[in-house]
Structure 1
Amino acid sequence: MFSSLILNITAFSLAALVIIVAGSKMARLADSLADRTGLGEALFGVLLLAGATSLPDFAATLSAAIDGRPDLAMSNVMGSMAVNLALLGVADIVYRKANLEHAAASSVNLMLAALLIVLLTLPLLAIITPTVVKWHVHPITPVIVVSYLFGLHLVRRTQAKPMWFPRLTLQTVADEPHKHHRGRSSMLWLGFISMAIVTGMAGWVLMDAAKGIADQTGLSETLVGGLFTALATSTPELVTTIVAIRIGALTLAVSNIFGTNCFNMLVVAAADLGYTHGSIYHDMAPVQMIWGLVSILMTAILLLGMVRRETYGIGRIGFESALILSIYAVALIVVVVGG
């Protein structure tokens, strides 16, 4: 048993390392492709980078759902969304020139934050409604998919024909394409897709190792999913966000986080499809609601911060960043104590 535990821990660590390396390369490729395709950082982050960085979550969550582990599946994806939002607080600490939400002002990012709040309420509504399933699928699952697609339509319209613009300040970093790039577009796309595939495969290995760790240590699946796998599968978002900030792609950094969380709602829908024992929303432990509610609260605070656009906070950290990091820390303590 001990040797098997060591093997699972080793596999978990190696998979997390692969996700970190691949995520770092994806961020640099995404910045170049955003300019070459003409989509811009915000839209590219929502449509492509978000999906690519969500692949570990998708693979890990679907693996657990198919295996009949609703707590592990949902704690991973819901916990990962809370981690991703906390990463914006970390990113704000890394970016020292001004408050990140001020510098990366964008109508698309505001739309994404509002969309995320809407999407997050749907599975929570499913939890408190009567158990109704059709072909092992809860009716809220197709609603999540349709809402996400309609939300993307609104985001694209906002990007193409914005009805308002953020006030430009000396600290604002506009989403403007760079004219000079190295390398052919085909090679950039090949590299981006390759790194996305690698992260997805690593996510599947990560969850298999996590299931073994949960079984052999006696830790609850809620704790393993909400803490260990959620943090590990969120490493692509952490790496791509930090790298994007380092290369000056601030809009890409913020839109990647919000876009990833919106895409993760499709992961929630996929988990219900993959779970064949009924409605996954009703079979998971009630503690999973904590991550969903906390994510809504954190998103709303970030939305307030993007509207307020505080230039500098205490220690050059925005009030919203300090709040969301504090809220995440408290939620983590509650889950650890409860798990």
Structure 2
Amino acid sequence: MLLLDIVLVVGGLVLLVAGGEALVRGASTLAAKVGVSPLVIGLVVVSAATSAPELAVTVGAVLSGEPELALGNVIGSNIANILLILGLSALVLPLLIKRQIVRFDLPVMVGMSVLLVVVSLDGEIGLLDGVLLLAGLVAHAVMSIIVGRREVVDASAPVDSMPLNSRPVPLWLAALLVVAGIGLLVGGAQLLVTGAVSIATGLGVSSLIVGLTVVAVGTSLPELATSIIAVRRGERDMAVGNIVGSNIFNIGMVLGVPAIIFGQGIPVPPAAIALDLPLMLAAAIALLPIAFTGFIIARWEGGMFVALYVAYTAYLILAATQHRALEGFTDVMLWFVLPLIAITLIVVTAFEVGVHRGRRLAAREKAGGASNAPPAE
């Protein structure tokens, strides 16, 4: 069976790459044709599509009586989206972040994460909690579309001249590429998760760890494929919007809809309240200073995110196996690595804020000098 599982994993990866390519090209063309920016397509359409595997896994896990797997899938996917996928995408090419994401979408993602933590404190995500989460998602989607269409209308260049870094395709073919891309992404994710879970189970790894790591990464691979392909095709707005939007969809739809459908609610394990949910919120908050300083995620910041995700995964494995190295690993992370990262972020943020403040003052002085200059003879 091991050989079959490996074939499923490889086949799933192939489908994910093909689906990401088709989805990005089709969505980019639709964005130009219907007058919606690629950023909004990434935030709404692509994010909903790439969150489909998480929704399927969560509903199936709840029906199968595996709430830890369901919740771990969403929490782990959101952590992986920020630390692993954004990190790897930034390593490929530094990610530019538009002001709409910084001023609206990132705060919404952090707010949704806070809401999820709050509604989970009683140990259950009930019907009312699901309604609140879904309402937040709907409000964000509506506002994103309104703001995105306003930006396109206000742009000086016509919509049809938006650069896509690829040969334009007919509208019907673009729609077909989006549908085909979604199908390939969902199918590829299912194949990969099936093979990976079987391998992990054969190695004796618990279902909770599988949900937080293997299943979470597997269902996040559509976002990874879509984001990296979008970056390589020059659609960096779509790459960042896809990740931010996917995290919002994961909280609002992937947890909200099952909580509404299954009236008894989704139980939240104490371990998730103590560690995984706060870490998911911390990952979302950690993105704010990087985005607010320079509107770019540099390669070194992407490398730091990837390193943090590797450390988090290592901690989960060591904790699950009660390895002797767990205590030393925890001490190093708690007293050395995390404080060093915090100091680095504070210093970089202060430096960037100072640079931008200096540039603004210089621009004002230059403008004032130009206005006070005597008229030419």
Do they superpose with TM above 0.5?
yes
Match of 1:183 among 165, 169, 190: 169
The amino acid of 2:163's aligned partner reads H
**For residue 260 of structure 1, what is the amino acid of its counterpart?**
S
1:301 aligned onto 2:286: yes
| Aligned residue type for 2:281 | I
Amino acid at match of 1:192: V
1:317 aligns with 2:299: yes
Aligned residue for 1:144? 133
1:253 to 1:109, Cα distance in 2 relative to 1, 3 A: farther
Displacement of 1:332 in angstroms is 1.7
Task: After TM superposition, give the deviation of residue 227 of structure 1 in Å.
Answer: 1.4
Q: CA deviation at 1:122?
A: 2.4
User: Among 176, 189, 193, which residue is 2:179 paired with?
Assistant: 193
CA-to-aligned-CA distance 1:15-61 (integer Å, 9 cap, x gap): 34322321232122222222222111111111211111112222222
Map Cα deviations across residues 122-180 of structure 1 (whole Å, 9 max, x no partner): 2322221265x8xxx44211110011111223333443557xxxxxxxxxxxxx82389
- Do the aligned partners of residues 60 and 12 (structure 1) sit closer, same or farther apart at CA in structure 2, a change above 3 Å counting? farther
Residue equivalent to 1:338: 319
Q: 1:195 & 1:18 partners in 2: Cα distance? A: 9
1:51-97 superposed Cα distances (whole Å, 9 cap, x missing partner): 111122222222222111111122122111111112212222211xx
Instruction: Kindly tell me the number of residue pairs found equivalent between the two proteins.
Output: 309
* CA distance in structure 2 between the aligned counterparts of 1:114 and 1:328, rounded to whole angstroms: 22
CA distance in 1, matches of 2:205, 2:262: 22
* 2:69–2:208 contact (8 Å) kept in structure 1: yes
Larger deviation, residues 267-276 vs 84-93: 267-276
User: How far apart, in 1, do the equivalents of 2:140 and 2:202 lie?
Assistant: 42
Instruction: Output the CA distance in 1 between the equivalents of 2:195 and 2:274.
Output: 25
Amino acid at match of 1:146: A
Give the letter aligned to residue 302 of structure 1: L
- The reply on whether 1:154 has 2:143 as its aligned counterpart is yes
CA distance in 2, matches of 1:38, 1:106: 19
Equivalent-residue separation in structure 1 for 2:305 and 2:142 (angstroms)? 28
Match of 2:16 in 1: 19
CA distance, structure 2, for counterparts of residue 239 and residue 36 of structure 1: 24
Quote the Cα distance in structure 1 between the aligned partners of 2:131 and 2:289.
30
Aligned position for 2:90: 92
Stretches of structure 2 lacking an aligned partner (at least 5 in a row): 152-160, 321-377
| Matching residue of 2:119 | 126
Larger radius of gyration: 2
Separation of aligned partners in 2, 1:189 and 1:310: 31
Aligned residues with identical type, % of pairs: 21
Q: Which residue of 2 aligns with 1:40?
A: 37
Q: 2:44, 2:245 within 8 Å by CA — same for their partners in 1?
A: yes
Letter in 2 for 1:155: S
Alpha-carbon separation, structure 1, partners of 2:249 and 2:290: 22
Aligned 8 A contact 1:244 1:253 in 2? yes
Q: Distance in 2 between matches of 1:23 and 1:310?
A: 25
Tell me which of the two structures has the higher relative contact order, counting C-alpha pairs closer than 8 angstroms and 6 or more residues apart: 1
Q: Cα offset for 1:322?
A: 4.6
Structure 2 distance, partners of 1:184, 1:212, is 42
Q: 8 Å contact 2:19–2:182 — kept in the other structure?
A: yes
Name structure 1 gaps, 5 residues minimum. 163-175
Residues 16, 232 of structure 1: 8 Å contact kept: no
- Could you list the per-position Cα deviations for residues 225-262 of structure 1 after superposition, in whole angstroms to 9, with x for gaps in the alignment? 22112222222211211111112111111111101111
RMSD value, Cα: 2.9
What is the CA-CA distance between 1:269 and the residue it aligns to? 1.9
Q: Verify: 1:222 aligned to 2:208, yes or no.
A: yes
What amino acid sits opposite 2:19 in the alignment? Answer: A
Determine if contact 2:77/2:217 at 8 Å carries over to the other structure: yes
Contact preservation (8 Å) 2:131, 2:260: no
Higher helix share: 2
- 2:17 and 2:33 mapped to 1: Cα distance? 25
Which range moved further: 6-15 or 84-93? Answer: 6-15
Q: 1:289 to 1:257 in 2, by over 3 A?
A: farther
Q: Supply the AA of the counterpart residue of 2:14.
A: L
More displaced 10-residue stretch of structure 1: 67-76 or 177-186: 177-186
Quick check: 1:71–1:285 contact (8 Å CA) kept in 2?
no
* Alpha-carbon distance between aligned partners in 2 of 1:141 and 1:254, rounded to the nearest angstrom: 26
Aligned-partner SS, 1:254: helix
Amino acid at match of 1:73: A
Conserved 8 A contact 1:64-1:73:
yes
